Chains A and B, each alone.
Chain A
Amino acid sequence: MKIEILGMGCPKCNQVEKTTKQIVSEMALDAEVVKVTDIKKIASYGAPMTPGVVIDGKLVHSDGTVPDKARLTTLIVNALASQD
């Protein structure tokens, strides 16, 4: 699993990255967390607002809010479920 955090370096986006890494290590997931700061790449995912979250190439969060731990966990679990 590859989780990408879209954001151009604002504190909110860094926070999302931190929380995601925390979840990955707590759930002992085999996942790579990558921060994407290049605007071309952010746009190519179609994210209208940052922070955005992309899991395995699919944009799952970009509504302008900062996803908290519970929300991120749900997003990750949903992505895992759709994999199987």
Chain B
Amino acid sequence: MFKPIADWLVYELIGLSPENRLGEALNFFIWDTMKIFFMMLVVIFMVSYVRSYLPPQRVRRFLSQKLPVVGNIFAAGIGVATPFCTCSAIPLFIGFIEAGVPLGVTFSFLVSAPMVNEVALILLIALVGWKVALIYLGTGLVVAVVSGLVIGWLRPDRFLQDHVRNIHFGEVEEKQWSQRERLRYAVAYTRDILKRIWLFIVIGIAVGAFIHGYIPGDIILRFSSQSTLWGVPTAVLLGVPLYAGAAGAIPIVTALLEKGLPLGTALAFLMAVTALSLPEFIILRQVMKTRLILIFAGILTVSIILTGYLFNFVV
């Protein structure tokens, strides 16, 4: 639906030829940008509307039922539809602990909430297609469940900061939302998210369009055939400092996939960008001892690297 508009803008209005490299890159950029922002608007709005039926109190109650494994799976699933930012991590975390949610389950949530979310999924569907988006969703959930299970098995309660148990949540009555309030929340949330990420996405698409139009097709194959083994860990390391620009990383990775970047390396990179974030680990220091944070980061890193290898060498 947006392709004709992009064609008209670039080839008619600006007057570039479709054979021209600049024309092709510009066309690609405009088309992608329109497509992605349209999908973002629609999907983020819908997800946040649905989320208004999932207030934190309800999630907490639900997860505190202490079901082994099933609890981790639910926690990872809820994480997909839950808003999450480093600022919200602590109150949510403490709320979970106080409600008696097992720590392993809490970690499954802490992994899945930032890593698998509607923004990443929309970008993957729009740019790469359903298949890769589903693979990302599936492996993301598996990584979240497995990391939570392993951490739970290590009895991590000993590594919480001592004051955590003394924090108590005030009672707030669970208010009944009217339809009007749900819509208001969905609009506010959609605007919030878009305001925060639009620039990253535009830059990401622009870089992606540049790669698409100007970088020779076999460049990555040439580079990665020499370093297949190191590709995945390197991608993970590169991903850590990019946390803030997670939304912008996807269009760039997409363009690189087209140029021969192995799927596993791409998945590992995206997971590292979204799930491994230094600022978040620093904030978690307020409730966890450093050892627990290192265990958390370590298990997450290992599972992400394994995911990368799995898709590069096995699948």
Chain A residues within 8 Å of B, Cβ to Cβ: 7-8, 10, 12-13, 39-40, 42-51, 59, 63-68, 71
Contacts and interface: CB of A to CB of B under 8 A. Distances in A.
B100 interface: no
B86 to A, nearest CB: 7
A49 B88 contact: yes
A59 B94 CA distance: 18
Contacts of A71: 188
A5 to B, nearest CB: 12
- Max chain A Cβ within 10 angstroms of own Cβ: one of B57, B83, B172: B172
B55 interface: yes
Contacts of A49: 56, 83, 88, 91-92
Contacts of A44: 168-170
Contacts of B191: 68
Given A44-B169, A47-B91, A71-B188, 20 more contacts: A7-B87, A8-B90, A8-B286, A39-B90, A39-B287, A40-B166, A43-B167, A45-B172, A47-B172, A48-B57, A49-B83, A49-B92, A63-B188, A64-B83, A64-B88, A65-B185, A65-B188, A65-B189, A66-B192, A67-B188
Nearest to B164: A39
Nearest to A67: B188
Contacts of B23: none
B229 interface: no
A63 B83 CA distance: 9
- Max chain B Cβ within 10 angstroms of own Cβ: one of A42, A45, A64, A66: A64
A50 B87 CA distance: 6
B13 interface: no
Interface in B156-180: 163, 166-172
Interface of B: 55-57, 60, 83, 85-88, 90-92, 94-95, 163, 166-172, 185, 188-189, 191-192, 283, 286-287
Question: What 3 pairs across the A-B complex have the smallest Cβ distances?
Answer: A48-B56, A10-B87, A46-B172
Nearest to B83: A64
Nearest to B56: A48
Nearest to A58: B172
B88 A50 contact: yes
Contacts of A64: 83, 88, 189
A48 B170 contact: no
A46 B88 contact: no
A9 B191 CA distance: 22
Contact of B91 (A39, A63, A65, A67): A39
A40 B87 contact: no
Contacts of A39: 90-91, 94, 167, 286-287
A10 B85 CA distance: 10
A7 B188 CA distance: 19
A51 to B, nearest CB: 7
A43 B168 CA distance: 6
A10 B86 contact: yes
A71 to B, nearest CB: 7
Given A40-B167, A43-B170, A12 B85 contact: yes
B85 A43 contact: no
A40 B287 CA distance: 11
